[in-house]
Amino acid sequence: MPTSRSYGDACTIARALDVVGERWALLVVRELLLGPQRFSDVRRALPGASSNLVTDRLRELTGHGVVTRRKLPPPAASTVYELTEWGRELEPVVLALGAWGSRLSLPPSAHLGTTSTLLFLRGFARPRSAACFHVELDSRVWTVRAEPGRLTVEPGEPAAPDATIRTDPPTLNALLEVPSDLDAAIADGRMRIEGDRKAVRRLLRETLSA
């Protein structure tokens, strides 16, 4: 059930936690940082949370004005959730928590999701040339667009990508750390690339060098 619990504390930190401090709330926000998502997308990205719990968090965040719900026009006609302008102001907070948490040990059998991997890529890539990538992770398609000094990620398929990458989040994450393993990942089928393989190598290498 949705919660209306409050710390009852006038401190602005406590008031912020009244809105986003419930379990899974900030992870729901994390999943929306890269753009609108369907309920099924958010639910799949949080395997440790039940459908009812995700529904409650989305309802609470919508009620507080952090998230908004809308229906896409035909032919999609899907209902999606996205961050409001106020909700997007949480992005540096969430990313700072991620940087702080990077010093903590990894839990055993920890799940690594698509959004976490793409946020890492977006945050640490420093491309030197322009390129566009169709990236398919766990059956979802993303547009990754590089330009000198900047990389953007958004859901959906690009019109004319330089390369198509199909893999899973753990493999992509591992290659961002050790780009020299790319050939081995292609050989054993963990990653498939169509198009400009050199552009993919540059993307991986320039993330490492950041």
- Give the percent of the chain with pLDDT over 70: 97
Q: Domains of the chain, with CATH numbers?
A: 12-102 (1.10.10.10), 114-206 (3.30.1050.10)
How far is it, in rounded angstroms, from Cα 195 to Cα 166? 12
The band of 110, judged by pLDDT with boundaries at 50, 70 and 90, is: confident
Please say whether the beta carbons of 143 and 153 come within 8 A.
yes
Whether the pTM exceeds 0.85: the reply is yes
Tell me the β-bridge partners of 140. 137
The band of 209, judged by pLDDT with boundaries at 50, 70 and 90, is: low
The band of 90, judged by pLDDT with boundaries at 50, 70 and 90, is: very high
Mean pLDDT across the stretch 16-44?
95
Mean pLDDT across the stretch 86-94?
97
Give me the pLDDT at residue 109, please.
Answer: 80
Please say whether the beta carbons of 158 and 172 come within 8 A.
no
pLDDT tens per residue, range 148-200: 999 999 999 999 999 999 999 999 999 999 999 999 999 999 999 999 999 99
Over the chain, what is the mean pLDDT? Answer: 92
Instruction: Write out the DSSP string of 42-88.
Output: HHHH-TTS-HHHHHHHHHHHHHTTSEEEEEPPTTT--EEEEE-HHHH
Give me the pLDDT at residue 178, please.
Answer: 93
pLDDT tens per residue, range 122-152: 998 999 999 999 999 988 999 999 999 999 9
